Amino acid sequence: MTQLITLTNESGMQLKLMTTGAALLSLTVPVGDEQREVLLGCKPEDYLRQQVYLNAMVGRFANRIANSVIHYQGETYHLVASQGENCLHGGKDGFDRREWSIVSLQQDKVTLSLHSADGDQGFPGECDVTLTYALENNDVLIDIQATVSKACPVNLTCHGYFNLDGKRGDVREHDLMVNASRYLPIDAMGIPLSSAPQPVEAALDLRQSRCLKEQWLSHPQLVTAKGFDHCYLLDSDAQEAAARLTSADARLTMEVFTNQPGIQIYTGNYLDGAPSRDGTLYQDYEGICLEAQLLPDSPGRPELGDPWLLPGNTYHHQTRYRFIAA
């Protein structure tokens, strides 16, 4: 049964989440004399009827694996397809659909756990995940650790949809900077093309902060995806901001720090019809996801890194969302 959790801290932040999908329901931050809602969200009872991974923790492997198949040391594993013939976000019954367990709960921090059985969605081996959400000053810290009983690609991320305006509207009015000089071009299904990562160019170059609506759909890759849905290979280390998002009114900025090599920028291109917390339906482009992760389709493509976690080793993903009010 779903359990609801509310975290607060002395800085005035409040984070609401639930154990189903470890999904975030609301995040408010102080901006002047207001508490500004910065996340899209739905009513808990509506969560399982949405298909857009609304603020969920996705895995066992976030993003896409082509043809839903992986190979390792002579073994072939057929995964559950969840987007056409490809495996998206861990399969049809991924971690975003699971009931997570509460390990510990404090005023400003909660730790959850999840056990995934051998063969779950086709993935080899058992996988045990520990996930912590914590409020630290003006930051939301997400810390994920995982172990496996057999070699398996592991890649988890928070699929949070942000809109920093504090009201519903077009997130393309936000300014965005991404500290990356390379990205992965994709085909019509979002699978990285066979070529190696490419230099950012024209409308895909986000190294200088600019309004997302500028040059909108002016590049063939943006037309292919109906907006941004691309993985950027970060130039920054964990001490530098991987990305910076600023509200349309310029009163609130969110910086992203992570130890992951990539960040998927997704502008909510297929949000239309998802339930909102006020009972109405979201429209496309009302929220943006900045999903720190390993690179998509990398289990069988060494040029995209090695996402295979081995028994005895620990996967450790840490992402920090920092909020700065003007």
Give binding residues as ranges: 63-64, 159-161, 229
How many residues appear in the chain?
326
Contact 43, 74 (CB under 8 A): no
Name the residues annotated as catalytic.
159, 291
Tokens encoding 39: 């996340």
Q: Which two tokens stand for residue 38?
A: 């910065």
Report the SS3 class of residue 206: coil
Encoded tokens for 313 = 């080793």
The 8 Å CB, 24+ separation contacts for 305-311 are 305/261, 307/61, 307/153, 307/154, 307/155, 308/72, 308/151, 308/152, 308/153, 309/146, 309/147, 309/148, 309/151, 309/152, 309/153, 309/154, 310/148, 310/151, 311/125, 311/147, 311/148, 311/149, 311/150, 311/151
Q: Which residue spans within 127-179 are E strands per DSSP?
A: 127-136, 139-148, 152-153, 157-158, 175-178
Binding site listing for beta-D-galactose: 63-64, 159-161, 229
User: 83 exposed, middle or buried (CB, 10 Å; 0-12, 13-18, 19+)?
Assistant: middle
